[in-house]
Amino acid sequence: MATENTVTTLERMANLLRIRSIESTQAANSGHPTSCASMAEITSTLFFNVMRYDPQNPKNPAADRFVLSKGHCAPILYAAWAEAGAFPVADLNSLRKIDSDLEGHPTPRLNFIDVATGSLGQGIGFAAGMAYAGKYLDKSDYRVYCVMGDGECSEGSVWEAFWFSSFYKLNNLCGIIDVNRLGQSEATPLQHEMETYRKRVDAFGWHAIIVDGQNVTELLDAFKEASTIKDKPTCILAKTLKGAGLKGIENELDWHGKPLGDKAAGIIADLKKLVNEETLIRPEIAKITAKVAEIKKSKEIKLSSPPNYDGKKEIATRLAHGTALEKLGKSCEHVIALDGDTKNSTYSIKFHDSFPKRFVECYIAEQNMVAVAIGIATRQRYTCFVHTFAAFLMRAADQIRMGAISFTQVKYVGSHAGISIGEDGPSQMALEDFAFFRTVPNIVCFYPSDAVSAERAVELAASYEGAVYIRTSRPNFPIIYKNDEVFHIGQAKIVVESSADCCTVVAAGVTLHEAVKASEILKKIGKAIRIIDLFTVKPIDRDTIRKSVNATHDRLLIVEDHYLEGGLGEAVMAALADQPNITIAHLAVREVARSGKSAELLDKYGIDAQHIVNAIEQLIENKT
Amino acid sequence: MATENTVTTLERMANLLRIRSIESTQAANSGHPTSCASMAEITSTLFFNVMRYDPQNPKNPAADRFVLSKGHCAPILYAAWAEAGAFPVADLNSLRKIDSDLEGHPTPRLNFIDVATGSLGQGIGFAAGMAYAGKYLDKSDYRVYCVMGDGECSEGSVWEAFWFSSFYKLNNLCGIIDVNRLGQSEATPLQHEMETYRKRVDAFGWHAIIVDGQNVTELLDAFKEASTIKDKPTCILAKTLKGAGLKGIENELDWHGKPLGDKAAGIIADLKKLVNEETLIRPEIAKITAKVAEIKKSKEIKLSSPPNYDGKKEIATRLAHGTALEKLGKSCEHVIALDGDTKNSTYSIKFHDSFPKRFVECYIAEQNMVAVAIGIATRQRYTCFVHTFAAFLMRAADQIRMGAISFTQVKYVGSHAGISIGEDGPSQMALEDFAFFRTVPNIVCFYPSDAVSAERAVELAASYEGAVYIRTSRPNFPIIYKNDEVFHIGQAKIVVESSADCCTVVAAGVTLHEAVKASEILKKIGKAIRIIDLFTVKPIDRDTIRKSVNATHDRLLIVEDHYLEGGLGEAVMAALADQPNITIAHLAVREVARSGKSAELLDKYGIDAQHIVNAIEQLIENKT
């Protein structure tokens, strides 16, 4: 039982946090003070009684984690950290200013934030990843807390995370839903139907506790109860009021995302009486009790053995990826793989079979899989490779976008890209993946064309300090490179060349092999071409391409198994935009594709060897 | 009570469908016969007893709808339609061949398919849209059936649809989950825990019925019960076996997505004995009983009144969008708007307030919102406009991708694009939207820069026979165009020009206004520039840009509030790739942005008027 003094102090702290939230949003003249107010008691209870952490060292790996899924409540989160001593309280009024890291929604520019939030429904997936890491990888006793809004519980990603967390019995995870009844533009669909929330949470395998979210005693009891549950996560369903404690605003619609304006001064004056700051002794922060092993990762993670192909057999890059991943697993015990029930297609199964304890089966829930990976990868302890068909990574586009804002270093691996997959048809063919992934700031996008380069792409990905996308292919490809070939990020390879080349062809994946076939057809009629394997689509090897084009009569053909927009073609054209006098042709997929044999599709959509031959002849005709 | 004869016949039909599924996947040498087998009784019962439809006219608007969410079971779906008489049974063996529309996963190239499936977890959202249309828009008695796999129920989008459908009391919707226990690479997380499924479905507000999914009598009873439920949708939880009825394969792992090979002949022989086709009298298809009003839509939907701005007040394009949408609503009663609890930000609230019965509040569940819109828009009866922040449309990227494969004509409207939104920070800023949307085949991407052009974009969008993306902006912009200005898809506008222009600037949205400011700064130092308002980013007005660049000393600057990749810059550079001697500069956002005032951010990330001035001076220096 909490003492009366503890309860009173936490109530006063809650009102102090309300004041800070109102003040900072007044100073910013924007923000969400009413959404902060409903979670004031939740926040004071967590930060000043329940959570074990070190405000002076927020990244302590043994500390409890906190994720604010309802990221628009950043002001009260910042207030809690400031009042806990992480930074001066006076800084709170720099909220949302361009020279402050106290942004409108939390981002890891702040050392006490692990993941960016603000796109709703994602926080609980990140938290599930952290809890998974705590229980199964770190094998530590730290706990993970995540505050969600009620409105965001309409997002399916929330229920993916609930499913995942109960399946893996993440009893170290405690979610809190701030059921304040009101969304942005109207009431939430369930309003205050607390029993419906309980039924849903319970059905998804969590321990549910309904509390009055403005009642500190009930909250303290609930957090205590949560800590005793041994076989499942706990969700505290906190019935609250939007704008709780703000006179004239509490429980009223049309106060979403607005500072209090004229009403602020009066409300702050009222709250100050409740806080009585002069006599307020701030509670001590609970000490960290969990132990976590230090992670000793070398800066470079190497393949345990080099590629080993005799060149006689064709190998799919997806298979080579699996081989390389298994080798990384041998070299480094902090490499983790995740898959969404496609491991026998993406070949992450090779890692799964060798290192079952470092493999996370996420089933068919790509959004949650990406969120879990981002969660596991926080604090740079584990290197996570996420797998599914490239087409289905698009399901997690918004998580990947938010991952970029979190500066995550997750490695995304998409298999079965392009029309070359054949009979399964367009729903399974990624043709827009590079357009999307290339927008991620500082990402490296690999597109390996044979087994040797695929293995090296995986190796380079592991050590790269940032996000990575690797596009692998379904068909078997001939081996192009010797086993000792050296690869670098941003370095293309010239795979066919002569002094008589009449044109440069830039390709990767299946189209590289079509280009090689085209060069053999052309050779028979006395024409030679230079062929560049792009290897990384971002960053792009501008110099190699430019020099090659200049050396081949300023003729360039780009051919890709991707839609016309945003892929290799536009990347290369943008890189060469400053080069005068180049004649460029571009072969790519221009319409919704269909089922058929791989070779038939490459022909039908105009990216096979014969179309390359024709395009080159056309280029030569145009420019002689 | 079904007669014994009915039951026996449907059992025989189920085995006939099994045979057809095995035969066609044998002919294709790929596909998913075991996933078909588990749903054979479900299919025979639905297609040959329960559903009211016309195989000769599958698009009859009064017919019951069927969505195969587990799209990989296309072979049994095709078999059912063939056996019902929609096309010759012999055609089934063209499955997955390039000259056949019987693709690996269903697409609306087939006249009996409304929506493409094959990316899992989406079908029930499409079906929810169809059921919403049936109950509230068509006000008709047709019913909607959707067969899901158990594996795909890990997808959050399924639970978004469950939430939506119970909230809107869609008792005309019947979902069937084929709980066959086995996923692609291992057992599903819930295996045969039927009571857990029941709890979840029930908690999400549906009527749940557990049946033996291989038992025709139980299925018939369940469908009958479903039709009597008046206040909620029904979900039939069918406990089945993967490969049911296929000796030696039934309930075995490692048979996902494989034809039966050597085992096929023996199994077919066994099944043929059960079918005894010579004596099989195929059941009559149930007659359509629902009535649906004919929709009379003129080919062009016009604004009820032209734009009406006096030019004195600055107006946000998002507000002008709302105004135009309301005008469309007045002109045409088949225009529908959907929003995800952002209607007071996107201004779809203007439509909501005028036409509440044609507005669908989808709450914070963007995937389901897009799926519902695609469902409502099937059979070309309604023109749907979908709204949220542009950043959050990315949440539905995979639904939009599948929508493209469905040839949907849904109009996506994304507000609050770019860093110009200011203080809310990067989580709310779409900076990759054009990169993604431009990949959709045949889409039109509008990026209006003032209220007049925004209204006309909305009008053009409504009549365009394909998907549309409209990017609107948060800040207020000056009015550029006269109220009677005429706009066309793919036609850019020159907004500033003179005979002395030294450079062309291509821009849109906030950067167009920055370019105009830059022209005024440059004028003071005696330099003139030509400014092009792109208006549509796809298709792009190559001719206007080319002529303008040629007339302005072959100098071109593109400036955009979007990441460097995949936006206006790359679109323009690709369009001009064949133009020699052009000097190009490109200003765009190159890193993760942050919070701040709009003008500060435009400066910080290098896309404001002063940066335009500097870039132009640089261009002139390079090329004099």
pLDDT tens-digit series, residues B533-571: 999 999 999 999 999 999 999 999 999 999 999 999 999
- For residues A420-431, give the mean pLDDT: 98
Bridge partners for A477 per DSSP: A315
Residue A507 tokens read as 């390709």
At A233-267, the pLDDT tens digits run: 999 999 999 999 999 999 998 899 999 999 999 99
User: Which three-class secondary structure state does DSSP give residue A82?
Assistant: helix
- In this predicted structure, what is the pLDDT of residue A24? 98
- In this predicted structure, what is the pLDDT of residue B623? 59
- For residues B298-316, give the mean pLDDT: 95
What residues of B are in contact with residue A188 (Cβ under 8 Å)? 363
Residue B338 tokens read as 């959907």
What does the buried/exposed string (b/e) look like for A230-249 if buried means 16 or more CB atoms within 10 Å of the residue's CB?
Answer: eebbbbbbbbbbbbbbbeeb
What residues of A are in contact with residue B96 (Cβ under 8 Å)? 423, 425, 595-596
Give the up-direction half-sphere exposure of residue B424: CA atoms within 13 A in the CB hemisphere: 22
Which residue of B154, B391, B582 is in closest CB contact with A363?
B154
What residues of A are in contact with residue B159 (Cβ under 8 Å)? 156, 159
d(CA B503, CA B554): 7
- pLDDT category at B3 given cuts 50, 70, 90 is confident
Contact B202 A199 (CB under 8 A): yes
Q: Which residues contact A144 (CB under 8 A, 6 or more apart)?
A: A64, A65, A66, A67, A127, A130, A131, A134, A170, A172, A173, A174
d(CA A467, CA A446): 11
Residue tagged active-site, from A366, A459, A514, A570 = A366
Q: Is the pLDDT of residue B624 over 60?
A: no
Contact A592 B441 (CB under 8 A): yes
- In this predicted structure, what is the pLDDT of residue B399? 98
CATH 3.90.1310.10 given to domain A4-279: no
Q: Is the pLDDT of residue B429 over 80?
A: yes
Contact B398 A398 (CB under 8 A): no
CATH topology of domain B315-477: Rossmann fold (3.40.50)
Strand positions, DSSP E, B480-554: 493-496, 501-507, 528-533, 536-538
Neighbours of B597 (CB within 10 A): 14
Of A42, A59, A62, give the one whose Cα is nearest residue A238. Answer: A42
Dihedral angle sign, alpha carbons of residues A433, A435, A439, A442: positive
Place of tokens 């004995």: B273
CATH 3.40.50.1000 given to domain A495-622: no
Query: In degrees, to the nearest 5, what angle opens at C-alpha A596 toward C-alphas A594 and A597?
Result: 140
- In this predicted structure, what is the pLDDT of residue A579? 86
Of B101, B483, B116, B139, give the one whose Cα is nearest residue B295. Answer: B139
At B249-306, the pLDDT tens digits run: 999 988 999 999 999 999 999 999 999 999 999 999 999 999 999 888 778 999 999 9
At B45-100, the pLDDT tens digits run: 999 999 999 999 999 999 999 999 999 999 999 999 999 999 999 999 999 999 99
- Whether the predicted interface score ipTM is above 0.90: yes
pTM: 0.98
Q: Is the pLDDT of residue B1 over 70?
A: no
Q: Which residues contact A492 (CB under 8 A, 6 or more apart)?
A: A506, A532, A533, A534, A535, A536, A540, A541, A544, A545
- On average, the pLDDT of chain B sits at 97
- CA dihedral A559→A565→A568→A574, nearest 10 degrees, is 120
Q: How many angstroms away from the CA of A322 is the closest CA of chain B?
A: 15
Of A495, A509, A496, A493, give the one whose Cα is nearest residue A541. Answer: A493
Tell me whether the CATH fold assigned to B315-477 matches the one assigned to B495-622. Answer: yes
Report DSSP state, residue B334: T
- For residues B594-606, give the mean pLDDT: 98
- In this predicted structure, what is the pLDDT of residue A623? 59
Contact A363 B596 (CB under 8 A): no
Give the up-direction half-sphere exposure of residue A21: CA atoms within 13 A in the CB hemisphere: 33
Domain residue limits, chain A? 4-279, 315-477, 495-622
CA-CA distances (angstroms) from residue B318 to B303, B322, B359, B448, B473?
16, 6, 17, 10, 6
Residue tagged active-site, from B250, B366, B459, B570 = B366
Contact A581 B581 (CB under 8 A): yes
- For residues A513-539, give the mean pLDDT: 98
Q: How many angstroms away from the CA of B450 is the closest CA of chain A?
A: 25
Which residue of A363, A423, A570 is in closest CB contact with B189?
A363
- For testing the chain A interface, which of B424, B445, B506, B581 should be mutated: the one with the most A CBs within 10 Å? B424
What residues of A are in contact with residue B155 (Cβ under 8 Å)? 156, 160, 364-366, 395
To the query of whether residue A366 is one of the catalytic residues in this protein, the response is yes
At B162-199, the pLDDT tens digits run: 999 999 999 999 999 999 999 999 999 999 999 999 99
Contact A96 B595 (CB under 8 A): yes
Q: Is the pLDDT of residue A624 over 60?
A: no
Q: Is the pLDDT of residue B374 over 70?
A: yes
d(CA A11, CA A17): 10
- pLDDT category at A1 given cuts 50, 70, 90 is low
Bridge partners for B583 per DSSP: B555
What does the buried/exposed string (b/e) look like for B279-295 if buried means 16 or more CB atoms within 10 Å of the residue's CB?
Answer: eeeebebeebebebeee
- On average, the pLDDT of chain A sits at 97
Let me know: does A117 contact A69? Beta carbons within 8 Å: yes
At B143-159, the pLDDT tens digits run: 999 999 999 999 999 99
Residue A225 tokens read as 């109860």
Element (H, E) at B228: helix B216-228
Closest residue in B to A588 (Cα) is B439
- For residues B231-242, give the mean pLDDT: 98
Residue B228 tokens read as 């009597």
Report DSSP state, residue B288: P
Closest residue in A to B151 (Cα) is A364
Q: Is the pLDDT of residue B602 over 60?
A: yes
| Residue pairs spanning A and B at CB distance below 8 A | 339
d(CA B46, CA A226): 46
Residue A532 tokens read as 């560049």
- For testing the chain B interface, which of A30, A155, A184 should be mutated: the one with the most B CBs within 10 Å? A155
Element (H, E) at B559: strand B555-563
- For testing the chain A interface, which of B30, B191, B395 should be mutated: the one with the most A CBs within 10 Å? B395
